[in-house]
Structure 1
Amino acid sequence: MAMMSPELAEHYDFFGFDPRGVGESDGVVCSYVPDEDHTTWEDDAARVPGCMEDPLAPFINTEQTAYDMDFIRAPAMDQPGGLQLGGGPVLQGKGCPRSNAS
């Protein structure tokens, strides 16, 4: 991002992350063979137990993703200037917003 927008990189730090189970991390492997006689709904419902057999399955979910994002967010908030996410209020310290006004 900094290479694509050097004018922004002069003023901002960029954070990105690769959620568990996508991109560079290992995904869940599902041990399920689709049944031609099933509807899409039945097929998807039958696939879940096969996916949950993967030992990584309990760790690739919304809750774990939120924890991962928090591990990125927390140290950034303690930096001078705090942290601003998507144009919202600037966060600094223990999650307390501070004014954007100069």
Structure 2
Amino acid sequence: IGHPTGREIPDREGADLDMEVILKAAAKSGVAMEISASPYRLDLDDNHARRASELGVLISINTDAHAEEDLDMLHYGVAIARRASLTKDNVINTWSTKKLLDWLKNRGK
């Protein structure tokens, strides 16, 4: 799930969502949550990413790049993941292709 709260810094606050319900549903259905590395999003934050990990929800870190020069924003997402104490095992875009394809085939089962 990408942009779960929909916030855009500094223009729009994130939606007032019950993230616990969303994260539990993601865990149950085998859906990964996104950390958007865009400095205008930074959504999931570190607290939600940590809770996702505690519930067994996997994470994808995405630059949200709309132009080539935006690709170097990945470090913002990595910083959120580090503050959340995530490891490479929690972050699906650090996995081998085989591991990712196996997860995609078997998730939610």
TM-score strictly above 0.5:
no
Which of these two proteins has the greater Rg computed from alpha carbons? Answer: 1
Greater fraction of residues in helix? 2
Give the alignment's TM-score, normalised by structure 1: 0.28
